[in-house]
Structures are given as C-alpha cells and as structure tokens.
Amino acid sequence: MDTVIIREINEANLAKAGETIRGGGIVAFPTETVYGLGASAYDAEAVKKIYRAKGRPSDNPLIVHLSDVSQVEKAAREIPETAQKLFDSFAPGPFTVILKKQPDIDDIVTAGLDTVGVRIPSDPTARAFIKAAGVPIAAPSANISGKPSPTCAEHVLHDMTGRADAIICGGNAKVGVESTIIDCTGEIPTILRPGGITLEDVISVCGKGQLDKHVLSSVSANEQPKCPGMKYKHYAPDADVTVVEGEKSHTERIISDMVQEYKRKGNTVGVLAMSDIDFGADLQISSGKNNKEFAERLFGALRKFDDRGIDVVFAQFCMEDSYGLAVKNRLYKSAGNKIIYTEKK
Ligand code: TXA
Ligand code: MG
C-alpha cells in the first residue's frame, strides 16, 4: 500500500486526511499522549483495517476520539455526573472515560462490549484532524501490536509506512504515555490504566476514585480484566528488560553489579537511568530528573535500545511522585514483570 506522508500541517492537508477517513481509509495522527492510528468509528470495514495493520487481537477494543466535549453524545448514551465533572475539569486532555456505548458506534470498535472509551485529545493537530473528518475516530496507538507506543513521527513512519493510508507527522508527544483510562460506569470512578491524569486528580474533582487491581499486578490466565488490553504483554522491546526499584543508592549498586555480570557473559547491556553516574553499560539513556520526564522519554528509549541491538536493559526506578504510577505500569509491562526490589516490600 502507498502511504501518503503529510509533513506540512495546514487546513488543506488536514481536509485531505479527513476525506481519507470518510472514504474508509486509516490515518496515523499525533496526540499529546502517543500517536494514534484512526478510522471512522461508524465504519466496520475501516476499523478492521486498523486491527490488521497493527496485528492486534480483535478482542481488544479501541478508544473513540472526539474533537470536543459537545460531541460526547455521538459515542456515549449516558454521561454520569462523575464523567461530566472529569470532562469539565480536564478536557481536552490526556484521559479516556469509559461510558455506556451509543448503538451507532460499531461493535467491532468496542470488541462487542456495551461500553466505549471516549477521549478528547488536547493536541491541536489531533483536534483539527478529527474535526476535518467529521466523524468520531476509533484509534489505538499507532505501533505494531506489542511494540512500544510511538511518541514521535519517526516511530510511526517506522511501524506504519506501507500499512496506513496516510501518516500525519506532528511533533513529539508531550505526555509520552497513553491516556489515563477512567471507568465511570460504576459508583466509584476507577482507573484502569494510569497516565497523565492521576488518581489524586480524579478524587479532587469527583470526591472519590480508586485504582483497578490490575494497574500494577499482572493478569493471571483465568482472569478477565476490565480493560482487555491489560492481559497482553505490551511495550515489549526486543531487549530483555528488568526493572530495578528502590532507594536511589541501592538501585545504583545493584545495576552497576548487574551491568558487569551481564557484560562478562557476553551480552550488550543498556541502562535506563535516573541517576547521572556512569554505569559502564554499552548504552546508557537518561530517564530525566522526575517521572514526568521519564514518561516522556520511556518509549523512545526502549526503541533506541532495540535500534542499537542491546540484549539486556536495566531500568532504574527510584522516585515515587504523581507520574510514578504511569511510569511503573509501563515499565513493569515492558519487563514482563521482571522486577528486582532493593528493599523488602
Ligand atoms: O492515549 C491514548 O489513549 C492513545 C491515543 C492514540 O489516544 N490510545 C491508546 O489506545 O492507547 P490503545 O488501543 O493502545 O489502548 C486502549 C486501551 C486498551 O487497553 C483497551 O483494552 C482499553 O483501552 N479499552 C478500550 N475500550 C475499552 C472499554 N470499553 N472498556 C475497557 N477498556 C477499554
Ligand atoms: Mg496501544
């Protein structure tokens, strides 16, 4: 398939991208969290193309993207008070609300569920593109299934050239991890996936909120998680990742020892480090000075380790702050839950 690459973002080009969507095509586009791969949420055949392009399991539903809060009724048939408060306070922004689905949204979008994830991105290009399309846009992250989500145009060009009808090349994703998913269909708003909007944010506007039990723990074979995406190994780079978590100096000591040991065994070793000491690895990438920067850099770093053919990566996690949960959730998944705690839990 020929992919149209849109490098200049202007009204005429976004109108063309919107036309591609209405004609049943699939278009990759930037958002403030990660890049998405979109199709009309009303068009089952177009949505099937997304699943095929990504190699995504068909029981994993897609999020529906809208340009404005006034459009939510196009996707959802009920807006509970908690959801309204979240939209009033944080939309447009890096979160998704799970609501009861409108029948017009094709079942293939929601993988047969009676609920739908609704998201209004804040990225101006995303909003202009969705507006130009004139229909709700069903979109997962624009990566090949199982690979780290794309946070810049190069990642999308790498994964989706020849697979998408068009790619809109915007800037770097500012948040860097996918949206917070908040289930508002029950009494207490429940975070199914942590992200840029935190539990504290949810509690501050709704007066209540909780984390789903699968936010940090893995899903066992006989469980059916609320968020189907939780059961898949996500964000897995080719490298074998281990998280080293705990007090900074303890994590430094363990990582330094591990780097030497694995190099001795003949592996190429990478470190994703919050400390600025030299760990003696083949490739060391800084995760920044706090978890907000870590989130922004994480997926790009995982891709860089793969580009360089690194076998083994140690990721240092030594700071708990408001973005900590979003970072840890992605790190644990990319490590397939291989975690070394330097202190007793
Ligand atoms: O930031 C984001 O959310 C990005 C950008 C493109 O908007 N999108 C994204 O989509 O991360 P995706 O498909 O990679 O992740 C969507 C997650 C999956 O884990 C899926 O299972 C869950 O959302 N999900 C979608 N609809 C759901 C529903 N009705 N109930 C529960 N979980 C749902
Ligand atoms: Mg994804």
Residue 125, SS3? helix
- Ion ligand 2: protein residues whose beta carbon lies under 5 Å: 141
Range in 195-199, 231-235, 237-241, 330-334 the model is least confident about: 231-235
Q: Locate the ligand 1 atom nearest the alpha carbon of residue 117 and give its number.
A: 26
- CA 65 – CA 5 distance, rounded (Å): 21
60: tokens are 């994993």
Q: Locate the ligand 1 atom nearest the alpha carbon of residue 119 and give its number.
A: 7
The model scores a pTM over 0.85: yes
- CA 106 – CA 159 distance, rounded (Å): 26
Q: Which of 160, 175, 227 to mutate to test the pocket of ligand 1 (most atoms within 8 A of CB)?
A: 227
pLDDT tens by residue, 207-241? 999 999 989 887 777 777 888 877 766 677 899 99
pLDDT tens by residue, 113-143? 999 999 999 999 999 999 999 999 999 999 9
Contact of 41 with 106, CB cutoff 8 Å: yes
Q: Which of 181, 183, 219 to mutate to test the pocket of ligand 1 (most atoms within 8 A of CB)?
A: 181
**Which among 71, 73, 105, 98 is positioned nearest to 83, based on CA atoms?**
98
Where does 28-152 have alpha helices with state H? Answer: 44-54, 81-90, 124-133
Mean pLDDT of the residues in the chain: 95
166, 145, 93, 26: CA torsion to nearest 10 = 20
Q: Return the DSSP state at 141.
A: B
pLDDT tens by residue, 155-165? 999 999 999 99
The mean per-residue pLDDT over the stretch 328-345 comes to 89
pLDDT at 273 over 70: yes
The mean per-residue pLDDT over the stretch 293-320 comes to 97
**Which among 219, 222, 198, 227 is positioned nearest to 86, based on CA atoms?**
198
Percentage of the chain beyond pLDDT 70 is 99
341, 197, 227, 190: CA torsion to nearest 10 = 100
The predicted pLDDT at position 220 comes to: 75
316: tokens are 């240092």
Q: Which of 50, 67, 78, 96 to mutate to test the pocket of ligand 1 (most atoms within 8 A of CB)?
A: 96
Residues 6+ apart with CB under 8 A from 29: 17, 35, 36, 38, 125, 126, 129, 139, 142, 168, 170
- CA 183 – CA 167 distance, rounded (Å): 30
**Which among 253, 181, 196 is positioned nearest to 33, based on CA atoms?**
196
pLDDT tens by residue, 84-120? 999 999 999 999 999 999 999 999 999 999 999 999 9
The mean per-residue pLDDT over the stretch 71-83 comes to 97
Q: Locate the ligand 1 atom nearest the alpha carbon of residue 149 and give its number.
A: 14
pLDDT at 182 over 80: yes
pLDDT at 331 over 80: yes
What is the Å distance from ligand 1's center to 19 Cα? 24
HSE at residue 69, side-chain half, CA atoms within 13 A, is 13
Residue whose tokens read 């920067």: 293
The mean per-residue pLDDT over the stretch 269-289 comes to 98
Where does the chain have alpha helices with state H? Answer: 11-22, 44-54, 81-90, 124-133, 153-160, 199-206, 248-264, 291-307, 324-334
Confidence of residue 174 (pLDDT cuts 50, 70, 90): very high
The predicted pLDDT at position 66 comes to: 98
HSE at residue 272, side-chain half, CA atoms within 13 A, is 34
